[in-house]
Amino acid sequence: MSKEVLQERATTLKALHVAGDPVILPTVWDAWSATLAVAAGFSALTVGSHPVADSVGKEDGEGMSFDDLTTRVAQITGAVDVPVSVDVESGYGESARRLIDGLLEAGAVGLNVEDTVHKEGKRLRSAEEHAALIGELRAASEAAGVHVVLNARTDLFIRQDGDEADRVDRAIARLTLAAEAGADSLYPVGRHDDDTMRRLTSELPLPVNAIAIPDTDDPSRFGPLGVGRISFGPFFQRALSTHAETMLARWK
């Protein structure tokens, strides 16, 4: 894929992030699920590490390699003509340049990176360390000549890290540093009540990514909360799995 096409897709993906009018990025894991989502009318996609790992028989949490992931990403981008973002977990121990170059070679124009370092005992990066990684990814993106859309994620909520009383404050401070370092959107991953989500979207300086459960959540809920991006994590694949289990159980 040419650099011009990659930059065009990156520009399109970034422009879709509008606070209050969120882009919905179905979380896919192979060419089949990607084609299914595009045929349903979605204009961009995200590739989830958890469903990809499940689909190749590996554990989530960097049980697969970066090469495992980019092999699957290339299959997806070869099957659809829309911008694709990719969950790179905490980076698979790769350099920022290797992550950016590998994703661009596979045809992706966005990435999601979290602050849990799986290869180091699942420790949590400090806020400054995570921001530094975002800065390195932005610099690598600029060196590559494509503005890769960076979605900076924090796991404070799903880890239930520290005191609950100031967890939102710490998440906002952490993600604000990531924004200053060059992120394009921010992902305080977790299921938040409306008041918490409104605070996150009003106090963070960039569009906020919310996670949704596609078979039960109300799609109209998120816009009024100020959300700018919606993805499904592993829940799209799980919903299909539940339906398949019910269907197959009839034939036992």
Kindly report, residue by residue over 11-35, the tens digit of the pLDDT.
999 999 999 999 999 999 999 999 9
Cα 231 to Cα 38, 105, 190, distances in angstroms:
14, 23, 11
Average pLDDT over residues 112-139: 97
Determine the 3-state secondary structure of 205 from DSSP. Answer: coil
Cα 183 to Cα 5, 60, 69, 133, distances in angstroms:
21, 24, 22, 10
Task: Please report, rounded to a whole number, the percentage of residues in the chain having pLDDT higher than 70.
Answer: 100
Strand partners for 124: 116
Residue 87, pLDDT above cutoff 90: yes
Query: How many Å apart are CA 213 and CA 230, to the nearest integer?
Result: 10
All residues at 6 or more sequence positions from 190 whose CB lies less than 8 Å from its CB, including other chains:
157, 158, 211
Q: CB–CB of 38/82 below 8 Å?
A: yes
pLDDT single digits (tens) 54-74: 999 999 999 999 999 999 999
Average pLDDT over residues 197-213: 98
Torsion of CA 185, 188, 190, 191, to 10 degrees: -80
Q: What pLDDT does residue 1 have?
A: 87
pLDDT single digits (tens) 98-110: 999 999 999 999 9
pTM of the predicted model over 0.85:
yes
Neighbouring C-beta atoms of residue 56, cutoff 10 Å: 15
Cα 195 to Cα 58, 154, 191, 203, 206, distances in angstroms:
37, 19, 12, 12, 18
All residues at 6 or more sequence positions from 248 whose CB lies less than 8 Å from its CB, including other chains:
none
Residue labelled with tokens 């600029």: 142
All residues at 6 or more sequence positions from 196 whose CB lies less than 8 Å from its CB, including other chains:
168
Residue 80, pLDDT above cutoff 90: yes
Amino acid at 172: I
Amino acid at 186: L
Phi first, then psi, for residue 116 (nearest 5°) are -90, 120
Question: Taking all residues of the chain, what is their mean pLDDT, rounded to a whole number?
Answer: 97
CA 44 to mean position of chain CA atoms:
12
Q: What pLDDT does residue 163 have?
A: 94
Task: Please report, rounded to a whole number, the percentage of residues in the chain having pLDDT higher than 90.
Answer: 100
Query: How many Å apart are CA 44 and CA 34, to the nearest integer?
Result: 9
Residue 159, pLDDT above cutoff 90: yes
Q: Show me where the domains of the chain are located.
A: 3-249
Q: What pLDDT does residue 91 have?
A: 97
Q: Which fold has domain 3-249?
A: TIM Barrel (3.20.20)
